[in-house]
Structure 1
Amino acid sequence: MACMFLAGKANYYPRSVKDVIFAGHQLMEKDDPLALERFNNKEEMKRHKELIFLAERIVLQTLDFELNVALPYTPLIEALNEFQLSHHFALGQAAWNFVNDSYRTTLCLQCKPNQIAAGALFLASKFVKIQLPSVGGKTWWQVLNVTARQFEEVCNQIVDLYENDNQPPPLPRLPQPLPPPPSPLGLPLPPMPPRPWPLPLPPPLPLPLPLPLLRLPPLPLLRLPPLPRPGPPPLPPRPRQLRPGLPPLPPRPRPRPGLPPLPPRPGLPPLPPRPWPWPPNPGTP
């Protein structure tokens, strides 16, 4: 489950650790219908999360944090284009399937991607009965930069996988019938008759009788008076703002009531009234 959790994040398809736990236990404990009920407990779910996080760190340290892994699919497609066999659908599909089945073995840890692609291409050519061509005086395995011994080892391991699959699988475990409930009077109950399989279909439901169509008179149209449209609300008073950077003006002093006016300064005669309009200056021409 830690590898599934890490592979989802490495291939930009992340899934929550809770979904990974549920999916893993659904596959591992198919025969136990109460397996997933244990995870309703928060302590049990927390313990499984910590185990997955620990296993994820172990996998990353084992791989030396190298997640950019080359796959055999790219050299396989390049080889089909090099041999001008990309139009042959049966050959490409068979080789693709052989590469998929190679992941059920440890070939991805033993051989390079081009070696696995060469072995899958050779098995596919034998399966569809096509001879692989040579390009530029080189055999097809030399074009893929693979020796004959290397792709033969890949072919042998894939063939061994299919030979092991031909063995008869173990019989599935059938569910055991539940014991009959005890009798409230303590008397033995008669055995229940066997239930037929497949179960008989229930009888079809009777079709409802067709109801006569009722034609109702049209309803009169009601004309409602137009609703009064309220006007826009009054705008709030705009606060007075001072210019930024200028200090506020000091308060203007007000005269105190009850004080007499200041007397004129002594020693200065009052100014005579000036005539109007002013007389012309005699010194001017």
Structure 2
Amino acid sequence: MSISLYPLASLAQIEQTPSRQDGIPPNLEEDLRAYGCKLIHQAGILLKQCVPLPPLIRFVVYRAMYRKQVAVATAQILFQRFWFVTSMKQFGIGDVGMGALYLASKLEECPIRMRDLINVYDLLLQRAAYTTSPKTLKSIEFKYTPMTYFGSSFYDMKDALVVAEMQILKRLGFHVNVVLPYGTLVNYLRVLGLTSKENVCTRAWGYLNDALQTPVYALYAVPTIVCAAILLATRHLRVPLPSQPPNCWWELFDADWEDVWSVCGYIMRLYRDRDPDEQKRLFTMVSKKGVRKWLEDNGPQLVES
């Protein structure tokens, strides 16, 4: 990552990520990133790291009160940054997701018990394995089987968690500063006079949350991402804003139109339909072993930028 107060990926890292150099197609890498962030979010919910936000119309978010929610968002951003300096062939998205959430909980002063985090990820991975099981086995209702207290599986996951946390710090050069966009969104909506439209506020807030599943927080500055969320919300709800030169509302916030439109594209790709085979492929590639097996079966698929 480029060295700055808020690190962003360099042009070379964007054009050819380490995973792409190892033969993972861009679309597959993007899907694996999104799935890894979903696991982080699901784990945060089960660990009660996500709490309900106050009514958006009030626009009052106290960092101390909602620190746990902040930890989950921070973990997702660190997770996305990590894959610009490391290949998915070297580390699994499940292990790195655990490490990112464990590290973020420390950074935001709401630490998680290591055993609880490992148990939750084990539950999520077992449920994913059940989802990909043959239809004959799906007739049986899913039931979680906890790991034995002194079993080797727990200690293997514990070692992977510790290594992942260490590697995130090492490979990011301890640049773990994260700026979340919610305060900026509040200010921009006030400037645009949209605070009275609760549906716009809610939808824009939701787009910012969904954007955590994409690499945009490691690619673009926060004002650009916030402008993209407002653009999507207002266009979907048909709320008019000045968009013709020389009175383009996003220029008020020093955002470039091409960058804003690019962020919109990243977010909208999350909502595309996926066939069951694509979903099953993601579930089987949570670990680095699954990624390596896929590369062996399909061969390297290097794609020129």
TM class by smaller structure? 0.5 to 0.7
- Check the 8 A contact 1:83/1:133 in 2, yes or no: no
Q: Which residue of 2 aligns with 1:76?
A: 185
Distance (whole Å) between structure 1 residues aligned to residue 109 and residue 205 of structure 2:
23
- Check the 8 A contact 1:95/1:124 in 2, yes or no: yes
Structure 1 residue 74, shift from structure 2 partner: 2.2
Q: Which residue of 2 aligns with 1:36?
A: 146
Distance (whole Å) between structure 1 residues aligned to residue 211 and residue 222 of structure 2:
11
**TM-score w.r.t. length of structure 1:** 0.53
> SS at 2:270's partner residue?
helix
Q: Which runs of 5+ in 2 are unaligned?
A: 1-97, 131-141, 281-305
Q: Which residue of 1 aligns with 2:248?
A: 139
Distance (whole Å) between structure 2 residues aligned to residue 171 and residue 150 of structure 1:
29
- Check the 8 A contact 1:107/1:154 in 2, yes or no: yes
Greater helix proportion: 2
Residue 154, structure 1, aligned to residue 251, structure 2: no
Distance (whole Å) between structure 2 residues aligned to residue 169 and residue 50 of structure 1:
32
Q: Which residue of 2 aligns with 1:224?
A: none
Q: Which residue of 1 aligns with 2:168?
A: 59
Residue 10 to residue 127, structure 1, CA distance change in 2 (3 Å)? same
Q: Which runs of 5+ in 1 are unaligned?
A: 174-285
Structure 1 residue 44, shift from structure 2 partner: 4.2
Write the mapping of 1:1-285 to structure 2, written as runs, cut at 5 A.
1-30=98-127, 31=130, 33=143, 35-37=145-147, 39-41=148-150, 43-133=152-242, 138-162=247-271, 164=272, 166-169=273-276
Q: Any runs of at least 4 consecutive aligned residues in structure 1 with deviations exceeding 4 A, and if so which? A: 32-35, 168-173
Residue 171 to residue 54, structure 1, CA distance change in 2 (3 Å)? closer
- Matched residues, number: 168
Q: Which residue of 1 aligns with 2:16?
A: none
- Check the 8 A contact 2:228/2:261 in 1, yes or no: yes
Distance (whole Å) between structure 2 residues aligned to residue 167 and residue 2 of structure 1:
28
Structure 1 residue 169, shift from structure 2 partner: 4.3
Name the aligned partner's letter for residue 113 of structure 1. Answer: V
Bigger radius of gyration, 1 or 2?
1
Residue 171 to residue 63, structure 1, CA distance change in 2 (3 Å)? closer
Name the aligned partner's letter for residue 274 of structure 2. Answer: Q
Q: Deviations over 1:218-243 (max 9, x none)?
A: xxxxxxxxxxxxxxxxxxxxxxxxxx
Mean Cα deviation higher: 27-36 or 115-124: 27-36
Name the aligned partner's letter for residue 36 of structure 1. Answer: P
Distance (whole Å) between structure 1 residues aligned to residue 278 and residue 265 of structure 2:
29
**TM-score w.r.t. length of structure 2:** 0.50
Residue 168 to residue 88, structure 1, CA distance change in 2 (3 Å)? same
Structure 1 residue 55, shift from structure 2 partner: 1.1
- Check the 8 A contact 2:200/2:234 in 1, yes or no: yes
